[in-house]
Amino acid sequence: MRKLHWVGTITLAVLVASSSLALQGQAQPATPTSATPKPAQPAKAGATTQPAKPAATSLGVTTDKITVPLRFDHYYTYEQVGEALRALHATYPQLTTIDVVGKSEEGRDIWAMTVNNPKTGAALDKPGVYVDGNIHGNEIQAGEVCLSLLNRLLTTYGQNEQMTKAVDRNAFYVIPSVNVDGRYHFFSDPNDPSSNRSFRIPKDDDHDGLIDEDPADDLDGDGNICTMRRKDPFGQYKTDPEDPRLMVRIKPGEKGEWTILGEEGIDNDGDGRVNEDGEGYVDGNRNWGINWAPPYVQAGSGDYPFEASGLRAIAKYLVDRPNIIVVFAFHNNGGMYLRGPSTKAEEPMNPADIGVYDIMGKNAEKIVPGYRYLVSWKDLYPTYGDFTDFTYNTVGAYSFVGELFVTETESYRPPPKPGAPAAPPPADVMDMMGGNNDRERERLKFNDYVTQGDLYRPWKAFKHPQFGEIEIGGWVKMSSRLPHPFMLTDLVHRNASAVLFAAAQTPSVTLDVLAPERVDADLYKVRVRVVNAGSIPSFTYNAIQRKIHPQDTLVVSGAGVKVIAGGKVSGMPIETVAYKPYRPEVQFLQVPGNGKIEFEFLVSGKGELTVAYQSLKAGKATKTVALQ
Ligand SMILES: [Ca+2]
Ligand SMILES: [Ca+2]
Ligand SMILES: [Ca+2]
Ligand SMILES: [Ca+2]
Ligand SMILES: [Zn+2]
């Protein structure tokens, strides 16, 4: 680890060189430690290929001017996300603000849009709903879900009753793209559907003293990183008899036909391995300052928590908005709404909070067909330094990860025979190395007859400088985890609806002061009832348990009055008052979801008596009565 550390300290010195290096796909001597003579560089096919043209190679990218209402039949590049936010703000200046939360490693702005109606109160006095997407650079449709939410809140405000209520009652904080460098490069550079996920913090993945020296290479210059294969009578694969684009593993005794050479590329640094050290790798969803673990426990966690400048900026943004009580972070893929905890060690989660999560999670399953509501560590896999753990335990917000897209929606299947039970879906095996190609065959048919060939590149011969005669082909970068543009409208609308459902559950607190009852000359009994019409409590049970932030307060005051005693009322049907021994005029409380909490005060004096409720998350309310 010490050696690694030392390499880390010189990383800064070569940062400029290495970031341009990643773009060129060329290795250069990066550090004094690479004094060891390097093997002769092979001829660079990458150097002779043309740079990719994003408009031509990114499916679903438009060059049209972005107009309001926003359209969701195409994807938004990084620049177009900014254009869309500015267009929304120009159309609805009273309801929106745009903030630059921070800058990325490559100096791009990270934008947040706030939607709030100032006529109904300040944003900080309303239950906050925070939504972001695209913390993983390749998971771009998460950004479109955010834009879709903003678009609907604003364009239907004043027309649709639910949306009008949402804008008037809540503050929405939306960051469509967290990993802005990742979004930019996913569109502009050759990629595969899963590459370009990391923050642009150069790392020496293979510990050879060179940084990001051997990325995948777009050998045929089509803007995609596809797969390479070579004809080989001793290979482990033969052509799939049902679809010659696929290969199947040979059985014992069969003759081989193909060797799969992995992702498109060459051995840039001549170390005998191909594409072993690409851009990054710091994973944005492993780098948060909570329950963080070093890379030997959690791959991609970075050298220290909040290493990514964008995450530091967003953490500050969140802490500055303590009214946030619901968080959604959108990713792809798999069709899941995940709640924490992200590791087993954080169990058990407070059972009362699980009840609140269930309201939103179980409804999300119904709002988005095929999506499942699951627990992160248990149903998927454990992650350290996770964003939603940060927001649940630090911000005090009910927090979901939305994993967008289900490959099963790309279906090409006959209807079940009348009366027969529906045919079982093909085995969910996505990769051709797995041996079962049923799902791949179906996806190819979907590609052929529903997208007319947009998603897949047929195999084509290529002369590889190191492997000789090979073929390049396979799924394009805008496939596999992203809906084809014709399916995007449905995906963004339904998932934004899951957020809107959650927003409608946020606390809605009102205050009643029941008629004061005179018990003696100048002595009154005052009953205060605090009611929450939302199904989310005024703050999380976890926040009570772990003392994350101050509780709500109820303060009784008045110029001519003095609070003699006061406390929480409990017990049914016979009530008791738990009198608070010190400063009874200030009470602490949490208002449960769809519930109430009552207090009783003994007050002496005459004149006006004001009862003020204040909450970090649920706003404030005041009532004044006269004692006479
Ligand atoms: Ca390296
Ligand atoms: Ca290519
Ligand atoms: Ca290499
Ligand atoms: Ca390479
Ligand atoms: Zn992700």
Distance 480 CA to ligand 4 centre (A): 22
DSSP string, 403-433: EE--GGGS---PPPPTTSPPPPPPP----TT
Q: Which domain holds residue 366?
A: 69-186+281-405+484-505
* 609 falls within a domain: yes
* 539 falls within a domain: yes
Closest C-alpha among 496, 493, 330, 479 to residue 410: 479
Position 49 scores a pLDDT of 42
Nearest ligand for residue 197 CA: 5
Tell me how far apart the alpha carbons of residues 7 and 211 are, in angstroms, rounded to a whole number.
Answer: 10
Distance 210 CA to ligand 1 centre (A): 4
Distance 467 CA to ligand 1 centre (A): 22
Which domain-ending residue is among 474, 505, 536? 505
Nearest ligand for residue 284 CA: 5
Distance 360 CA to ligand 4 centre (A): 44
Nearest ligand for residue 270 CA: 3
Tell me how far apart the alpha carbons of residues 360 and 306 are, in angstroms, rounded to a whole number.
Answer: 29
Which domain-ending residue is among 505, 535, 556? 505
Same domain, 496 and 587: no
What's the CATH code of the domain at 292? 3.40.630.10
Same domain, 132 and 160: yes
- Cα-to-chain-centroid distance, residue 131: 8
* 174 falls within a domain: yes
Position 424 scores a pLDDT of 54
| pLDDT tens-digit map of 360-394 | 999 999 999 999 999 999 999 999 999 999 999 99
| Total domain count, the chain | 2
Same domain, 496 and 598: no
Same domain, 495 and 534: no
Position 22 scores a pLDDT of 35
Helix, strand, coil percent values for the chain (each to nearest 5): 30, 25, 45
DSSP string, 27-73: ----SGGGGSPPPPPPP-HHHHSPPP-HHHHSTTB--SPP-SSPP-S
DSSP string, 161-211: HHHHHHHHH-EEEEES-S-HHHHHHHHHS-B-TT-S-SBS----TT-SS-S
Distance 463 CA to ligand 1 centre (A): 26
3-state secondary structure of 78: helix
List the strands of the sheet with 619-627, edge to edge.
Answer: 586-589, 552-557, 607-615, 619-627
Distance 290 CA to ligand 3 centre (A): 35
Same domain, 399 and 365: yes
Distance 220 CA to ligand 2 centre (A): 5
Cα torsion angle, 85, 87, 92, 98, sign: positive
* 444 falls within a domain: no
Nearest ligand for residue 190 CA: 2
Give the strand pairing for 128-133 and 171-175. Answer: parallel
Position 29 scores a pLDDT of 35
Tell me how far apart the alpha carbons of residues 597 and 538 are, in angstroms, rounded to a whole number.
Answer: 11
Nearest ligand for residue 265 CA: 4
* 247 falls within a domain: no
Tokens in use for 553?
């307060």
Q: How many other β-carbons are positioned within 10 Å of the β-carbon of residue 623?
A: 14
Position 423 scores a pLDDT of 55
Closest C-alpha among 175, 190, 132, 192 to residue 404: 132
Nearest ligand for residue 228 CA: 2
Same domain, 501 and 554: no
Tell me how far apart the alpha carbons of residues 460 and 454 are, in angstroms, rounded to a whole number.
Answer: 16
Nearest ligand for residue 213 CA: 1
Same domain, 492 and 619: no
Closest C-alpha among 291, 128, 129, 304 to residue 312: 304
Which domain-ending residue is among 505, 538, 565? 505
What's the CATH code of the domain at 515? 2.60.40.10
Distance 273 CA to ligand 3 centre (A): 4
DSSP 591: P
Phi, psi at 394, each rounded to 5°: -115, -50
Position 415 scores a pLDDT of 82
Nearest ligand for residue 25 CA: 4
* 296 falls within a domain: yes
Spatial contact of 584 and 600, defined as CB atoms under 8 Å apart: no
| pLDDT tens-digit map of 515-558 | 899 999 899 999 999 999 999 999 999 999 999 999 999 999 99
Same domain, 500 and 601: no
Tell me how far apart the alpha carbons of residues 198 and 210 are, in angstroms, rounded to a whole number.
Answer: 18
DSSP 76: -
Q: How many helices (H) and strands (E) does the chain have?
A: 14, 23
Same domain, 381 and 516: no
Distance 217 CA to ligand 2 centre (A): 8
Tell me how far apart the alpha carbons of residues 508 and 105 are, in angstroms, rounded to a whole number.
Answer: 40
pTM: 0.89
Nearest ligand for residue 210 CA: 1
Tell me how far apart the alpha carbons of residues 221 and 214 are, in angstroms, rounded to a whole number.
Answer: 17
* 7 falls within a domain: no
Tokens in use for 227?
């797969």
Same domain, 590 and 497: no
pLDDT less than 70: residues of the chain: 1-57, 421-435
* 222 falls within a domain: no
Same domain, 315 and 383: yes
Distance 467 CA to ligand 3 centre (A): 14
* 555-569 as b/e: b if 16+ CB within 10 A: ebebeebebeebbbe
Position 573 scores a pLDDT of 86
Nearest ligand for residue 336 CA: 5
Same domain, 329 and 355: yes
Nearest ligand for residue 281 CA: 1
Tell me how far apart the alpha carbons of residues 327 and 54 are, in angstroms, rounded to a whole number.
Answer: 33
Distance 606 CA to ligand 5 centre (A): 61
Distance 26 CA to ligand 3 centre (A): 11
| Helix residue ranges per DSSP H, 230-332 | 309-319
